[in-house]
Structure 1
Amino acid sequence: MSRASEAEPITTGKSKDEAAPARTPRARDPKITSGRILAAAKTEFARKGLAGARVDTIAARAKINKRMIYHYFKSKEDLYLCVLEEAYGDLRRAERLVDFEGREPEDAIVALVEFTWGYYRANPELLRLIVTENIHQARYLKRSKKIREMHSPFVALIGDLLDRGVRKGVFRAGIDPNQLYISIAALGFYYLNNRWTLSVIYGVDLGAEPEMEKRRAAMVDTILSYLRSNPAL
């Protein structure tokens, strides 16, 4: 017998399947998981408010175990506050994408009005969350430092925009940037939140696109008239 034929292959004594390494369970990505929870919770809180929202429903919509919600968030109330912070944060982040500083003052104001109107239309859940929190008299929002921190730079930006308009002689002096932004928000917020009842009262479908366009134009005209140093312009 030759030396080559005497050689035996070295084996471990395990079958092919046994020798294969065990599959490592995929690690859960905390950012993705918390994001799914927040998205599901936003829908639930917007539809049913804080009192009516159910953690079981949020878990089912997020396709996770209910216990995972309490792993990431201490309570339903903490989850609700995080949803509020995320909703306001999304608005502020979207605002930063608009070039206000690179425009002439009046053009920038028009852009702000139109952005706010468009964002409210595209994000009705934000409006419902704001209504819910006002029912609670901002009890939960008062606990958030993030909200105030993210809002202050935007108010400063509006203040700078107003100052530029005054220096150019197109805006009158003495306008409070907070009051201006509240007015812009209110003109869209009230219309969108009350368009069903107002449609019945006035006999016009205020949710129809032609009426929505009329509202956008009315908002722009109202705000510019309020700001102009010469309202006749």
Structure 2
Amino acid sequence: MLYYYFGSKELLYVAVLEAMYADYAKKESELDLSGLQPREAMATLARSIWAHFWDNPEWLGLINNENLHQGRYLKTSQKLSETISPVVDVVRSILERGADARQFRRGIDPLDFYVTLVGMGYYIASNRFTINAFTGRDYAHWADRKKICEMHLEILDAYLRSTM
């Protein structure tokens, strides 16, 4: 039945990755951020993304596996670019509102900012075991996770407000 519905194991794997990314993008793009001030909207989006990593360890496993394959299977996806666009559009909208309200500087690339925001949360969640092994700090504990989240938000906010 696998070959009937998907054609191959590889195409099933791509379908799983596409569905995973689509669910993630849908969740993030459905956040109601329009009523929040830009700084709070960006912080809410960041917290939501970072919580997703902690709440979905299987997601991290699939992403890590695909990175081991150097993105080979995702490159074959016909749906991936349409999946990420809504989330980047949310970031773009917040950045524009923030610039209009003089809370953020202008000229920030939405995709670069989004990738940075994701990377901050992804690293801590996906590397929590090795971080714990060499530092003794367990970011799976809520207090440590909250502390690093707040530091990341301060770093992002400082970048958004800087006049570089």
| Equivalent AA in structure 2 for residue 170 of structure 1 | Q
Letter in 1 for 2:144: E
1 CA distance for matches of 2:78 and 2:150?
35
Looking at structure 2, the residues matched to 198 and 153 of structure 1 have their Cα atoms a distance apart, in angstroms, of 32
1:227 equivalent in alignment to 2:129: no
Answer yes or no: is the 8 Å Cα contact 1:127–1:193 preserved in 2.
Answer: yes
Superposed CA offset, 1:197-225 (max 9, x none): 11122222222221111122122112111
Q: Is residue 195–residue 207 contact of structure 1 (8 Å, CA) maintained in 2?
A: yes
CA shift for structure 1 position 157: 2.5
After TM superposition, give the deviation of residue 193 of structure 1 in Å.
Answer: 1.2
Alignment of 1:136-151 (within 5 A): 136-151=69-84
Instruction: Return the offset for 1:179.
Output: 1.0
Determine the C-alpha separation between the residues in 1 that align with 2:83 and 2:122. Answer: 20
Pick aligned residue for 1:166 from 99, 106, 109: 99
Question: Which blocks of at least 5 consecutive residues in structure 2 are unaligned?
Answer: none
CA contact 1:195–1:206 (8 Å) conserved in 2: yes
Unaligned runs of 5+ in 1: 1-67
**Do 1:162 and 1:177's aligned partners in 2 also have CA atoms closer than 8 Å?**
yes
Q: What's the TM-score, normalizing by structure 2? A: 0.92
Contact 1:169 1:229 in 2 (8 A): no
2:65 pairs, out of 132, 138, 145, with 132
User: How many equivalent pairs are there?
Assistant: 164
Q: 2:86 aligns with which of 153, 156, 163?
A: 153
CA shift for structure 1 position 153:
2.7
Distance 1:154 1:202 in 2: 33
Instruction: Measure, in 2, the Cα distance between the counterparts of 1:186 and 1:150.
Output: 18
Q: Which residue of 2 aligns with 1:110?
A: 43
The letter for the 2-side match of 1:115 is S
Offset, 1:229: 4.2
Match of 1:133, SS state, is: helix
Distance 1:80 1:158 in 2: 29
Asked if 1:121 is matched to 2:28, the reply is no
Equivalent residue letter for 1:140? Y
Between the aligned partners of 2:121 and 2:70, the Cα distance in structure 1 is: 21
User: 1:40-94: CA deviations, max 9, x gaps?
Assistant: xxxxxxxxxxxxxxxxxxxxxxxxxxxx222222111000000000100110111
The CA deviation at 1:131 is 1.2
The runs of at least 4 consecutive aligned structure 1 residues that moved more than 4 Å come to none
Normalising by structure 1, we get a TM-score of 0.66
Partner of 2:110: 177
Encode CA deviations 1:113-138: one digit per residue, 9 max, x unaligned.
Answer: 11001111111111111111111111
Q: Which residue of 2 aligns with 1:24?
A: none
Structure with larger RCO (C-alpha < 8 A, sep 6+): 2
> Is residue 25–residue 86 contact of structure 2 (8 Å, CA) maintained in 1?
no
- RMSD over aligned CA atoms reads 1.6
Indicate the residue corresponding to 1:209 in structure 2: 142
CA contact (8 A) 1:162 1:175 kept: yes
Name the aligned partner's letter for residue 192 of structure 1: A
1:194 pairs with 2:120? no
% identical equivalent positions: 39
Name whichever structure is richer in helix by fraction: 2
